[in-house]
Amino acid sequence: MSVPVLHGYWRSSAVYRVRIALGLKAVAFDQVAHDLLAGEQRDPAYRAIAPHGLVPALEVDGAVLIESPAILEWIDQRWPAPSLLPADPLAAATVRAMAALIACDIHPINNLRVLKALKHDLHATGEQIEAWTHRWIGEGFAALDSMIEAHGGTHAFGDGVTLADCYLVPQLYNARRSGLDLSPYPHLVEAGEAAERLPAVAAAHPDRQPGANP
């Protein structure tokens, strides 16, 4: 198998998820950086790889995978150990629900192109955009904190790292950048910080990636 090539942007939370998963599996990979702020994701050369013009995209053995949920599921199947999903189907569904809470209910309405649209198309002020961001992260985090209280142990689900942690850590990074008060979500923060202390997760941090701002 050839070395996977991850197309991304250093601060993209969707790409961050994939880096975490690859790191937890101890999979070597190359990275190609695309500056989202400069619009490089819309370049025809990149669209030839990823027609949707978004990151991440993962090139592997002549194929291209897009959308982080699909990529993460593929990674977990391709390299089964350590598994990022519990063996029990109900437990696995709970982990997927935690991940989807972030991937479907928080991230899409707070990603870069949505925030740009709020600013340029709807003329939202910086204060309004911050309120928008905090509203949707806060609502999602409140639900996720309850789920982690019910199902968590050392990590978001039980005592092993799962897909839920792959999603949680990048969203915590975004929440901190936005200045959100995290005190109402103690279980979520504790689980996120436990994952962040793992060497493979720490290595995936945005500040340690190609193209990161000093």
Last residue of a domain, one of 33, 52, 81: 81
pLDDT at residue 99, as a whole number: 98
pLDDT values of the chain reduced to their tens digit, one per residue, 214 residues:
789 999 999 999 999 999 999 999 999 999 999 999 899 999 999 999 999 999 999 999 999 999 999 999 999 999 999 999 999 999 999 999 999 999 999 999 988 889 989 999 999 999 999 999 999 999 999 999 999 999 999 999 999 999 999 999 999 999 999 999 999 999 999 999 999 999 999 999 999 998 898 7
Same-domain status, 106 and 70? no
Number of compact structural domains in the chain: 2
Single-letter residue type at 98: M
At position 34, the amino acid (one-letter code) is: H
Which of 18, 51, 81 is the last residue in one of the domains? 81
Token duo for residue 199: 């060497």
On whether both 102 and 156 belong to a single domain, the answer is yes
Q: Are residues 107 and 182 in the same domain?
A: yes
177 and 126 co-located in one domain: yes
- Rounded CA-CA distance 37/171 in Å is 19
User: In this predicted structure, what is the pLDDT of residue 24?
Assistant: 98
Is the domain of 68 the same as that of 101? no
Together in a domain, 124 and 74: no
Question: Are 68 and 143 members of one domain?
Answer: no
Q: Is 214 domain-assigned?
A: no
pLDDT on residue 111: 87
* CATH of residue 52: 3.40.30.10
104: domain CATH number is 1.20.1050.10
pTM: 0.95
- The residue from 31, 58, 81 where one domain ends is 81
pLDDT at 213: 82
Do 37 and 76 share a structural domain? yes
The label of the residue with tokens 């990149």 reads: 46
pLDDT at 103: 97
In a domain, 211, yes or no: no
What confidence score (pLDDT) does residue 112 get? 85
**pLDDT for the residue 207:** 96
Sequence-distant (≥ 6) Cβ neighbours of residue 24 within 8 angstroms: 82, 84, 161, 166, 198, 200, 201
CA dist 105 and 89 (Å) reads: 23
Contact of 35 with 12, CB cutoff 8 Å: no
Residue-range definition of the domain harbouring residue 119: 89-200
Is 206 a domain residue?
Answer: no
Same domain, 196 and 129: yes
